[in-house]
């Protein structure tokens, strides 16, 4: 798994600045919520065909980083 920052973006003009998978409007929190609710990778990929397994892993890596740190340095698009 590469750097999650390559797959996640925060843009105030997209989904009100919520962290999303780049090139989509799919929130990181939506992916993590689905996993927490017991939906597996296959179910998520079926429901959101534009996602990849790497996107799901990036969402988990982002969530882990947020749990470890108080501040995550992601440049905002302006």
pLDDT tens per residue across span 4-53: 989 999 999 999 999 999 999 999 999 999 999 999 999 999 999 999 99
Please state the φ and ψ torsions of residue 27, each to the nearest 5 degrees.
-70, 145
Asked if 32 and 20 touch (Cβ cutoff 8 Å), the reply is: no
pLDDT confidence of 2, banded at 50, 70, 90?
low
pTM for this prediction: 0.83
Residue 66 is predicted with a pLDDT of 85
Dist. CA 49–CA 17, nearest whole Å: 22
* Mean pLDDT for the stretch of residues 65-72: 75
Tell me the fold of 4-68: Arc Repressor Mutant, subunit A (1.10.10)
């Amino acid at each position: 798994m590469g750097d999650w920052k390559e797959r996640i973006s925060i843009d105030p003009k997209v989904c009100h600045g919520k962290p999303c998978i780049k090139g989509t409007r799919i929130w990181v929190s939506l992916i993590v919520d689905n996993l927490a609710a017991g939906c597996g990778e296959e179910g998520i990929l079926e429901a959101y065909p534009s996602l990849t397994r790497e996107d799901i892993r990036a969402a988990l890596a982002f969530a882990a980083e947020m749990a470890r740190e108080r501040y995550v340095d992601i440049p905002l698009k302006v």
